[in-house]
Amino acid sequence: MKHLAVLVIILLLATSVDAFRMSRPHTLSHPITEEQINQLNTALDDIFNLTNGRFNLDIVTTTKSSASEGDIWILNDAGTYKLEFFAGGAVRTITP
């Protein structure tokens, strides 16, 4: 029974982290430019935030039209807050 409880807890934790995926890191080429260093810093910052549970979601007033797969944001629609994300080629909305 203990093993089943531990397995359920692990599965619940694993599914909540799956939504907070980071983008693929850029490949560095020689000579290294300032833009590549900035991209590397962004990727390392994403890794740090993912491993430490620090997420800052964008709060927008209109649905994002240029969202990438896996993007998450909060929609403030006249005082009503909704969680939106882009998955499977479409914007999905979660209303509390």
Four-CA torsion 13, 18, 19, 22, nearest 10 degrees: 130
The string of DSSP letters for 4-30 reads HHHHHHHHHHHHHHHTS--PPPPPP-S
Q: Inform me whether the pLDDT recorded for 90 exceeds 80.
A: yes
Give the model's pLDDT for residue 20.
57
Q: Calculate mean pLDDT across residues 15-26.
A: 57
In sequence order, what are the residues at sequence separation of 6 or more whose Cβ sits closer than 8 angstroms to the Cβ of residue 2? none
- Which tens digits make up the pLDDT trace of 29-82? 788 888 888 888 888 887 787 777 666 777 888 877 777 777 888 888 888 888
pTM above 0.75, yes or no: no
Domain borders along the chain are 21-55, 57-96
Residue 45: both structure tokens together: 């910052």
End-to-end CA distance of the chain: 33
d(CA 81, CA 70): 19
